[in-house]
Amino acid sequence: MVAVSLIKTIKDGLNRTRSGFWQKTVGTITGKKSLSALELSQLEEQLILADVGISASERLINAVKNGPAGITALERLKGEMLGILSLDSNLIFQISKSEIKPQVWLIIGVNGSGKTTSIAKLAHYLKDQGHQMMLAAGDTYRAAAIEQLKKWADRLRVEFIGSQAGADPASVAYDAVESAVAHKVSHLLIDTAGRLHTQKHLRDELGKIYSTIGKKMPGAPHLTLLVLDATTGQNAVSQAKLFSQAARIDGIILTKLDGTAKGGIVLAIAQELRIPVLFTGIGEGLEDLLPFDPQVFTDSLLEQ
Ligand code: GDP
Q: Which atom of ligand 1 is nearest to the CA of 119?
A: 7
pLDDT given for residue 134 in this prediction: 98
Q: Which atom of ligand 1 is nearest to the CA of 109?
A: 3
* CA 112 to ligand 1 center in whole angstroms: 6
pLDDT given for residue 2 in this prediction: 62
Bridge partners of residue 225, in order along the sequence: 107, 251
Average pLDDT over residues 203-223: 94
Bridge partners of residue 229, in order along the sequence: 255
Whole-model pTM: value is: 0.93
Q: Are strands 251-255 and 277-281 parallel, antiparallel or unpaired?
A: parallel
In the predicted structure, residue 58 carries a pLDDT above the cut 90: yes
pLDDT given for residue 255 in this prediction: 96
pLDDT, tens digit (0-9, with 9 covering 90-100), for 165-201: 888 999 999 999 999 999 999 999 999 988 766 777 8
pLDDT tier at 225, thresholds 50, 70, 90 = very high
**If you take atom 26 of ligand 1, which residue's CA is the nearest one?**
283
* CA 278 to ligand 1 center in whole angstroms: 17
Whose CA is closest to 20, among 277, 292, 257, 253?
257
pLDDT, tens digit (0-9, with 9 covering 90-100), for 104-129: 999 999 999 999 999 999 999 999 99
Average pLDDT over residues 24-36: 87
Q: What are residue 249's phi and psi, to 5 degrees?
A: -95, 125
Query: Which of 9, 14, 117 is the best mutation target for the ligand 1 pocket, counting ligand atoms within 8 Å of the beta carbon and taking the most?
Result: 117
pLDDT, tens digit (0-9, with 9 covering 90-100), for 73-105: 999 999 999 999 988 767 777 777 788 899 999
Query: Which of 284, 286, 290, 292 is the best mutation target for the ligand 1 pocket, counting ligand atoms within 8 Å of the beta carbon and taking the most?
Result: 284
Q: Are strands 187-191 and 223-229 parallel, antiparallel or unpaired?
A: unpaired
* CA 175 to ligand 1 center in whole angstroms: 27
* CA 193 to ligand 1 center in whole angstroms: 15
Query: Contacts from 67-74 at CB under 8 Å and sequence distance 24+?
Result: 69/33, 72/29, 72/31, 72/32, 72/33, 73/29, 73/32, 73/33, 73/34, 73/35, 74/26, 74/29, 74/30, 74/32, 74/302
Q: Which residues have CB under 6 Å of ligand 1?
A: 111-117, 194, 255-256, 258-259, 281-284, 288
Top-confidence range, 21-25, 97-101, 244-248 = 244-248
Residue with the bigger pLDDT between 6 and 165: it is 165
Range 232-248 burial, b when 16+ CB lie within 10 A, else e: bbeebbebbebbeebbe
* CA 301 to ligand 1 center in whole angstroms: 23
